[in-house]
Structure 1
Amino acid sequence: MQLHHYTDSAALNHDFARQLVSILTDAIANRGQAYLVVSGGRTPTALFNTLSQAELAWDKVTVLLADERFVPVDSADSNERLVKTHLLQANASAANFISLYAGAATAEQAIAAISARLKALPAFDAVILGMGEDGHTASLFPCSRELTAGLAADASAVLAVNPTSAPHQRISLSLPRLLNSRQIFLHLVGPGKLEVLNKAQATNDVASMPIRAIIQQPDVDVAVMYAAN
């Protein structure tokens, strides 16, 4: 894991977008397609706005989320809605998007349809993750009974999660599916997040802080993109 400390979010977003464009461009040159996994929440919206303006063969880029709340895509709580509003605009409107939502009574009942969409995907080129104050990432929550299954080496690509400390059922990519990537980024803003990261580095109990399963694994490069404000 490497920590990249920026003076502010504007500097972070500028350099982060540049790095992502380079990674995606290389992927397109090497295999004709690129695969980008993003996260929801407030932190990445400015990055998405910047990235959407980038000159890139966006029609050869596939975007999907690391996790999603099990809510309709027109809900204010939908990560898909956020991505379509802030990232899949301007030049990036030509990108392909794979939804982690499917109409069903429960998240568990939607898994089969969502799994089918992800079945043929190769390794990702870049995964952008966030981190909660409790050390969760994607929707791998320490409070959820599904955590062990989501962290297992033989986990399916996607799973339903029922957090007790956050609203809504969730759909989340599993740890092995997230780690099947050429590069992982952890996008953090604010001194509180740096404190959580330092705590996560201190010990290796992944059950109490699932982010440890990302930052302490040896196989995939993890770049922490951090700004205090």
Structure 2
Amino acid sequence: MSLILSLETSSPVCSVALHRADDGRLLAHSELRLEKSHSTHLSILVQQMLDNTGHRMADLAAVAVSDGPGSYTGLRIGGAAAKGLCFALDIPLIAVSTLQALAWQAARHTAAPEKCLYCPMLDARRMEVYAAIYTDTGEEVLAPTPLILDPNTLSEQLAQGPVLYFGSGAAKFTPLVLGQSNAGFLTGIEPSAVAVGALAVEAFRRQQFQDVAYYEPFYLKEVYTTTPKSDMRP
């Protein structure tokens, strides 16, 4: 049996999932909500999930990873783990947009998904978010981009019809669009390896693979670092 292993490490939730490559059936899903657990627990979650389902690493046909944007450290850990498995097993790597995977989840929580646009928002500090807009079928209306939130943010899309907002950054946008009938908000939509795996199955069928040697997560913005005071020289 050919399987796709999916890893989601872009948020504080460390999540793994196992899908059948032929029909997309979800076989198992496991997650851990423990702060800064990705580096120490990701490989354990994967091995336990395989053991619990009676499968081996050799059964994997591909590894999918949440591509970002998201936590810089989390994305690095997930990307490194996925690349290591792909190198060791000589199998392809699939990268799935974190924002598109969130939109996939939201569309399945909507009674009439075709009537809305879907806007995942990930918190990027202060009044900034990483956001994108998709249709219910996953078509990209607005490419992933960093946004400074104000009452006019995404006003063009909102004027055209209903838009659902969700994700860790959506709460900051709520008071800015209160009273606008086309604005809706969903709670409880978090990055999940289940959604990553569902989209990865389609990518696997289309053979949309990454170059394992050169793959880097989609950080969207450059990472800002500071020099510790102890390392500064007069």
Per the normalisation by structure 1, the TM-score is 0.30
| Larger radius of gyration between Structure 1 and Structure 2 | 2
The TM-score with structure 2 as length reference comes to 0.29
Which protein is richer in strand relative to its size?
2
